[in-house]
Structure 1
Amino acid sequence: MKLASLKSASRDGTLAIVDRDLSSAFPALESGFATLQSVLENWDDAAPALETTYRALIQRELDALPLKPDELASPLPRAYQWLDGSAYLSHVERVRKARGAPMPPSLYTDPLMYQGGSAAFLGPRDPIRLPDESWGLDFEAEVAVITDDVPMGVTPEEAAPHIKLVMLVNDISLRNLIPQELAKGFGFLHGKPGPAFSPAAVTPDELGDAWNGAKIHLPLLTYRSGTLVGHPDAGEGMQFDFRELLAHAARTRPLPAGTIIGSGTVSNPDAGRGYSCIAEKRVIEQIESGEARTPYLQHGETVRIEMFDRSGRSVFGAIEQDVWP
């Protein structure tokens, strides 16, 4: 099934069940659940009821409302925890090379992950505010999963059933602020102002055989002001799958229902499929010509991130954001 959250007076939005082609929605409150967080906390009871409503919706048995992307919040407008990995090592290698930082051997065996702010996420059509263009605004197209309650110390195999929903992410970065923050040795703050998520979060069964239980084998398309800049396969080059990322996050703590785990910027070893962030393109330019020529995002530009299934249907809907001062 596909789930979304309508913007409302509640900070947690109003949960809606969305049809397969993302054209209509039905209020989940009629199935007894007002928010996605409440569903995740009661998944075993909630999921069957919502699935029944979803089946009725896609069979056109319900009086649904038109789905308007501008009226959508993030599927989880806020979350108890947002953890972002960096599972695609070709991305890590290229970005670290741009900073003159070597690849520690541990990155090949132990996932890289940071904890970001999760008090309020951007919706899929919300603008990106950029007061100062010199900050170096970049998009980062990613995949993410949402969990139910995950016990501390789970193995990757034990972690797999805790993956309840999948969605897309634009993990916004301010590249020119990040180096000075990392140089302090304590992590991101200003350089990661907060991500935006896709219109819908979907259960893994909606992905069919493109989902292998731990990763999606479909291209992730990113457009910059209408021009396709990347279409890497999200299942290729992912050194650590979502089971492993989840187990890594839960090594020393339980994860509450509603935890979001990001894959990190999708990247393939074959650079011919383009890129999912500007920084990676700039690194390739620097390697090839000695100079990074592609500018970071400027006021008035637009970013669009989307994934299509093998029949050409948009799986999650598109993240489409304008850059505002």
Structure 2
Amino acid sequence: MKLATLKDSTRDGRLVVVSKDLTRCSEVGHIARTLQAALDDWAYVGPRLERVAEGVETGAQPTIRFHEHDAASPLPRAFASSLGGYFSAPRDPLNISSGEAQVEARAVVILDDFLTDADASSNGPQVALVMLAATVSANGGDTAFSPVAVTRDELENLSLHLTINGNPVSDSSKSGAGSSIDDIAIPAPNRSLGAGSIVITGLDGVQTTVRAGDTFRLESNDRTGHSIFGAIERKTASAG
């Protein structure tokens, strides 16, 4: 299942279910208006959203066109995150106050706090969704997430494709360094992490430097070359 948040006049946007090819989406305000609301009751809401996702693929569910430029980060703000509390949209421009800044690209997970009997021994919340993150060390740190967050069953492996001005910085799938989805896990079970918490995974990230005027793009493709999460693509400019 793939989920996104479309921008609107509210801080948290509105939740949609997105087709596997990222071309269509279905509004699900009757189930959960926001992703945080869905995560707060994931045991009940998650299966309902999965049924919508099935309908999107079969044509049984009404859809509208999905445009990545209309998407906020899937969670525009988070109650618990080491990456900050408010997040930029994946296509927002970025002002750099100094001549250059560091970009760190990595995979992150969003947690729910629903424990099944099988999960009970883990003594903590579970991974609900996976997404990409790009944090820029400018203006105190600016993080954007991929347009779409996905459930783990959407992933066979996970590799990062980072380019600056169209030139590759990293393409781990071509080097054979893509990480198995089995490697995605919560670093340490912690009861203080509840629904909607964003946690950095143990998967290797990528770091590089951007300068004012650069455009960087981060995405991850499946084995057929199709984008899994959509792309974080941000044009940088000098704040001065």
Identify the residue that residue 192 of structure 2 maps to in structure 1: 254
Deviations 1:16-60 (A, max 9, x none): 110000011111113x21000000000011011111111010112
Counterpart of 2:187, as a letter, is L
1:162 and 2:92 matched:
no
The structure-2 alpha-carbon separation of the partners of 1:126 and 1:309, relative to structure 1 and needing over 3 Å to count, comes to same
Is contact 2:186–2:201 with CA below 8 Å preserved after alignment? no
Is contact 1:225–1:302 with CA below 8 Å preserved after alignment? yes
Identify the residue that residue 68 of structure 1 maps to in structure 2: 67
The structure-2 alpha-carbon separation of the partners of 1:150 and 1:80, relative to structure 1 and needing over 3 Å to count, comes to farther
Number of residue equivalences: 231
Counterpart of 1:317, as a letter, is G
Identify the residue that residue 81 of structure 1 maps to in structure 2: 80
Identify the residue that residue 92 of structure 1 maps to in structure 2: none
Aligned-partner Cα distance in 1 for 2:98–2:133:
23
Seq. identity, %: 35
Identify the residue that residue 47 of structure 2 maps to in structure 1: 48
The structure number with the bigger radius of gyration is 1
Correspondences of 1:116-131 after superposition (within 5 Å)? 116-118=83-85, 120-131=86-97
Which residue among 142, 145, 162 is the counterpart of 1:222? Answer: 162
The offset of 1:74, in angstroms, is: 0.4
The offset of 1:218, in angstroms, is: 2.9
Deviations 1:52-109 (A, max 9, x none): 1110101122331111111110000000011xxxxxxxxxxxxxxxxxxxxxxxxxxx
Identify the residue that residue 236 of structure 2 maps to in structure 1: 323
Counterpart of 2:87, as a letter, is F
Is contact 1:15–1:34 with CA below 8 Å preserved after alignment? yes
Is contact 1:130–1:324 with CA below 8 Å preserved after alignment? yes
Q: SS of the counterpart of 2:36?
A: helix
Counterpart of 2:185, as a letter, is R
Identify the residue that residue 245 of structure 1 maps to in structure 2: 187
Identify the residue that residue 103 of structure 1 maps to in structure 2: none
Structure that is richer in strand per residue: 2
Is contact 2:146–2:230 with CA below 8 Å preserved after alignment? yes
The offset of 1:318, in angstroms, is: 0.7
Counterpart of 2:52, as a letter, is T
Aligned-partner Cα distance in 1 for 2:229–2:54:
17
Identify the residue that residue 19 of structure 2 maps to in structure 1: 19
Identify the residue that residue 235 of structure 1 maps to in structure 2: 179
Correspondences of 1:91-240 after superposition (within 5 Å)? 115-118=82-85, 120-133=86-99, 136-149=100-113, 158=122, 162-174=126-138, 192-207=140-155, 210=156, 217-232=157-172, 233-235=177-179
The structure-2 alpha-carbon separation of the partners of 1:61 and 1:123, relative to structure 1 and needing over 3 Å to count, comes to same
Structure 1 runs, 4 residues or longer, greater than 6 Å off: none
Aligned-partner Cα distance in 2 for 1:6–1:56:
20
Q: Any unmatched runs of 5+ in structure 2?
A: none
TM-score (norm 1): 0.65
The offset of 1:157, in angstroms, is: 6.4
The offset of 1:255, in angstroms, is: 0.9
Is contact 2:113–2:125 with CA below 8 Å preserved after alignment? no
Q: SS of the counterpart of 2:15?
A: strand
Aligned-partner Cα distance in 2 for 1:223–1:128:
16
Q: SS of the counterpart of 1:16?
A: strand
Aligned-partner Cα distance in 2 for 1:6–1:55:
20
Aligned-partner Cα distance in 1 for 2:136–2:120:
28
The offset of 1:149, in angstroms, is: 2.2
